[in-house]
Amino acid sequence: MILDHSYANELNELVTHLKPQSLKNARVVAINQSLRSQLNLPWETQDAWLKALFSVNSPLTQHSVAQKYGGHQFGHWNPDLGDGRGLLLSEVVTPEGKRFDLHLKGSGPTPYSRFADGRAVLRSTIREYLASEALFHLGIPSSRALCLLTSDEMVYREKSEKAAMLIRVSQSHLRFGHFEYYFHSQQLEKLQSLFDYSFKYHFSEYADQANPYALMLSKIVHDTATMIAKWQAYGFNHGVMNTDNMSIHGITFDFGPYAFLDDFDPRFICNHSDPQGRYSFDSQPGIGLWNLNALAMAFTPYLSRQEITNILQEYEQQLLKEYAKIMRAKCGLIEFGAHNSTIINEWLDMLASEKKDYSQYFRFLCDFDPTLKDTSLRDSFIDRPRFERWAERLSQSIAEQDWTNEQRSASMKKHNPNYILRNYLAQQVIDRAEEGDFSLFDAYLTALSCPFNEHPEYAKFAAPPPDWGKKIEISCSS
């Protein structure tokens, strides 16, 4: 294991050095052993993690820091942001030279806590653990959960809750808001240091190129577009796409009031703090571009306006290209089918019109053969004539393909999950965990870690939600 502290050491003026504050009767309740092994970390047991986090001379925390940044929150600039409840602990360097941050959430107050307690609660840490692993195993770029701790210490949010901690892993914790803050505050020397650091450790392939800033911005644009295309294809609503929650690596970051779609509603809002729907499901592609425009302001000392405009124009093309590729795979269509767009769009419109469960009906579609008079899927649609017209188009398209129906079905099942993260199930996991029972957490996590498979023992996780479990809105404190 190699631990480094390049951010803390080389950007010392941009951080505050702090140690995590322990919790009353803190105990580790989950370790992502697969991820731990991949990173070659030595801490296999609960006791080992507690010592690594809270021992006086632990190598994991001896250089831990809180980072300063800003961000556009619901479209409004806020310069008073930073790691208010988290610390960057260390950076793990793999034998291949790749770097991964270890970041602790719920570590106690920092100078950026804005009079808050700097703690996380068990509810929010469980939700982040489940969501980050669910997205990762769906193939959606995301930070990942490494270790979860609970405690007997109580903090108050909407109610009194148990304080908890989560260690998460990502390529770095550099956000759009880091670059925005040093640009808008006109601390251009520190902005330059941030760019130099980024080229050294995260965009090194561009450092010696003729126009590294253009290449870096283009990479961020493409990665962000790819991520959001996958959100849209798999029905994920992030809920709070402020620029301080956007990673320069194009990974899903800072989980709060997220939700996977239940009944397909393109205008679905998962955040009850967003009544105007700025971050609704169908707004995410546009907000992604808005956020990239905000980030691009920090590139204006290095790139012309026209260069920036040209790069930002790559966003829509990349998003549509990635989205179309995934949706073809979900519908079992070849790349250059003449009616692909019509088939996909009509299917989505039927799901929306008849309020069908997004993920479940895509899974049903895997076993649908339009050339047969199978009535199970047909009978579930009220507008049967419309469905039959759509099925005829699908049948014509399939006839052009060189697949058997079995091959097509098997391929589709690799792109349409049997298990997704449902908010009502996550709440059941949380309710059990708050009573000290993590067995449901373990079972659900196992199912989410193999989302495309079918396991009879996890059938309850594949069932559609009851009416009371649909469209649950979550607060930002979640």
The counts of H helices and E strands in the chain are 17, 13
Residue 334, C-beta contacts closer than 8 angstroms, at least 6 positions apart: 328, 397, 400, 401
Of 187, 204, 28, 184, nearest in space to 99 by CA:
204
Tokens of 409: 């079905």
> DSSP characters for 137-165?
HHT--B-EEEEEEE-S-EEESSSEEEEEE
**What whole-number distance in Å separates Cα of residue 369 and Cα of residue 406?**
10
Chain-centroid distance, C-alpha 55? 31
| Angle (deg, nearest 10), helices 284-296 and 314-331 | 150
**What whole-number distance in Å separates Cα of residue 46 and Cα of residue 147?**
9
| Residue 117 a catalytic site member | no
Chain-centroid distance, C-alpha 104? 17
Chain-centroid distance, C-alpha 451? 16
Q: DSSP assignment, residue 85?
A: S
**What whole-number distance in Å separates Cα of residue 157 and Cα of residue 160?**
6
Token look-up 């023992």 returns 457
**What whole-number distance in Å separates Cα of residue 297 and Cα of residue 306?**
12
CA 119, 197, 177, 260 torsion: positive or negative? negative
333 to each of 44, 323, 377, 391, 433, how far by Cα in Å?
Answer: 45, 13, 19, 13, 42
Other C-beta atoms lying within 10 Å of the C-beta of residue 282 = 13
What's the distance, Cα to Cα, between the start and end of the chain in Å?
Answer: 33
Contact predicate 91/102, CB 8 Å: yes
**Angle, alpha carbons 350-354-360 (nearest 5°):** 80
Of 174, 153, 140, nearest in space to 6 by CA:
174
Residue 431, C-beta contacts closer than 8 angstroms, at least 6 positions apart: none
Contact predicate 84/113, CB 8 Å: yes
Q: Which of 47, 80, 208, 244 is catalytic?
A: 244
User: Catalytic residue positions?
Assistant: 244
